[in-house]
Amino acid sequence: MRVLFRVDASVTIGSGHIMRCLTLAKALLKHGAICRFACRNNKGHLIDLLQQAGFKTLSLPAELFGEEDDALATLGLITEPYQLLVIDHYQLGQRYGKLLRQRCQKIMVIDDLANRPLECDLLLDQNLLPDMDSRYRSLVPAGCQQLLGPRYALLREEFYQPHCQRIPNHLLVSFGGSDEQNLTSMAIEAIASLKSLPVTADIVIGLNNPWQASIKQQCAQLSNVQLHIQTNAMAVLMQKAQLMLGAGGATHWERCITGLPALVVPVAENQQATTAYLDKLGACVWIGAYSDISPRIIADKVSYYLSKPEQLAAISEAAKRVIPKDTGTLQVVEQLTKSVA
């Protein structure tokens, strides 16, 4: 099976779309698929990361104006047909999919906005929402197979494997690949202020983090924190932490499968509904909008929850119930294999 992924990363977009597609591509590769990527050459693109992982990547111009322009540029780089096109892009919808049909047999769209018509044979939305079964009813073609909910979350294999035990008072801080609001710096400042608690922390940022230099300087001044840049050890870091400070998005499902309690600040509008629902289920704690957060608020929340081990245990158990252990990326691969065969 030949598979083309159309997905982008940038300082503004972040790295989440690329990382989940990379997870799926690696899983498909193990099942004999040949995977390629097509990405815009934006500032903060991760084309080098994809190529280092062994995937040929077609480089599209950074400036493309609309779906048709993007589709024509993509078609201009395709030299052979593909059995499957995977689109993970909020700016591409029905028009793009229809144009790519001439070179791609089947299409899967990865989405969570449900805000535009889509041309696809399969739809993947791994988010957990009360209305997830009806959100796309008028947006996808009749007969489109919908893979909905975190049982289809695109998680790497290591998240299903036990690695280590939790360390008391140990935090994990990760606000996504870009963290445009610089919440990471706020969290580090909060950790530095917790003089009466024996807190340690792993700080995770992405290659596209625009505050990288100042964050390195902050961490260098603290003996109780360790900085990780574009780490491949997120599963281990989640399993050893007692509490996480982070954003919403795909990280929700990584936390849930590892049972990691989290204080969450959504950093994008599309993260709010799922974060609110998980908070309602007791699977995380939404501590506020990013515009209202301060180091003092973070410090107070961390201090409170670290002093309430029974509440952390309850959050952990609720999170574990969100994603069954026998589901995830392999479920998606199985469905794709059946559909494209």
Residue ranges of the annotated binding site for substrate are: 156, 254
Answer yes or no: 17 catalytic. yes
Q: Annotated binding site, which residues?
A: 156, 254
Rounded to 10 deg, the angle between the 272-280 and 251-258 helix axes is: 20
SS3 183: helix
SS3 330: helix
| Token pair recorded at residue 270 | 């599309």
Distances from the Cα of 227 to the Cαs of 38, 104, 174, 175, 184, in angstroms? Answer: 31, 42, 10, 13, 11
The whole-angstrom distance between residue 106's C-alpha and the CA centroid of its chain comes to 24
Which is the catalytic residue, given 17, 89, 170, 252?
A: 17
Query: What is the sign of the dihedral through the CA atoms of 341, 122, 54 and 154?
Result: negative
Please state, as a whole number, how many other Cβ atoms lie within 10 Å of the Cβ of residue 79: 7
Q: What residues act catalytically?
A: 17
